[in-house]
Amino acid sequence: MDKYHTAIIILCAFVLDLLLGDPRRPTHPVVLTGKLIAYLEKILYGAFKTPAGLKAAGVILWLITVPTVYISSYAIIALSYKLNYWLGFFCSTWLIYTSLATKNLADEAFAILAKLRSGDLQEARARLGGIVGRDTQDLPVEEICRATVETVAENTVDGIISPIFYAFLGGGPLALAFKAASTLDSMVGYKNERYIHFGWFSARMDDLLNFIPARLGGLLILTASLLLGLDAKRGFKTVLSDAGNHESPNAGIPEAAVAGALGIRLGGWNSYSGSLHFSPYMGQKLRDIKPEDIKVTVALSIISAFLALVTGEIIILILA
């Protein structure tokens, strides 16, 4: 497949994502991947008891899941092109489209914002609970806003920029392989009693795969903040001073960039299943976080996504 062909497919997939969002049907690749992970977890987790054994089982889980997704998607695309050119084009476009979350992330954030504007805190908390892992049932308005801004900032990288990055590198198969690794992290990459050992490898591989996209994403968010007239210089300084304090080697970069650009402070105390956990602060608290910050963060996310697409298209066409 030539580079012009790949550039057109990724552009079409991006447009589809903006128009249609993420259709979470039973046949959605991420849903199917999740079912595969759950099935393998039942087999592997029960077969090992020691910490070392569970770590080994986690490695096996990753080494089965991610290559299976890559090979399956590659085979589907190859077979489709053999049957019909346009069928292959459609399959390639659709598979990349399912790896993107630009519209879905924006829609979820705007749904929370709408509930805050109407004063329906209960529904805002419920909607937030669908996209974050922390307890949301008692959060005040400012904490709902903080959680939403943090989630949009972080997921701009692993839900948008990273899939675009891997799509340009290896088309639909590599984009879906990345999504499989990301799904593994979201399902088993926790530091709780059950997954501290079993999910260790999935968590580390997710960190590795997002390492370059997170840094590119930080630059794109800062560029987007310039276009929106925000304080990109302060955002850059915040990334340098605060991003490294985050427990994740990647999540702190987009969060710090957004915090600095907006002049707000992210991080702080969060509750997970009733247990309090402190997340290092990102940015200076020059003012309180407000609901409109959600709207601005979504704008940063969408513009960053466009910049990622345009940058990739320019590079791939230059190299063609």
Domain ranges of the chain: 3-319
Q: How far apart are CA 101 and CA 72, in angstroms?
A: 22
Identity of the amino acid at 288: D
Q: Give the model's pLDDT for residue 46.
A: 83
Q: Give the model's pLDDT for residue 1.
A: 58
68 class by beta-carbon count within 10 Å (0-12 exposed, 13-18 middle, 19+ buried): middle
Beta-carbon contacts of 150 under 8 Å, excluding residues fewer than 6 positions away, are 255, 266, 267
Say what the pTM is. Answer: 0.94
pLDDT in tens, the chain (320 residues): 577 888 999 999 999 999 998 776 777 899 999 999 999 999 999 888 899 999 999 999 999 999 999 999 999 999 999 999 999 999 999 999 999 999 999 999 999 999 999 999 999 999 999 999 899 998 999 999 999 999 999 999 999 999 999 999 999 999 999 999 999 999 998 888 889 999 999 999 999 999 999 999 999 999 999 999 999 999 999 999 999 999 899 999 999 999 999 999 999 999 988 889 999 999 999 999 999 999 999 999 999 999 999 999 999 888 86
**Gyration radius from the chain CA atoms:** 20
Q: Give the model's pLDDT for residue 314.
A: 93
Q: Give the model's pLDDT for residue 183.
A: 96
> 276 pairs with which residues across the strands?
271
Query: Which is nearest to 166 in space by CA: 33, 26, 13, 16?
Result: 13
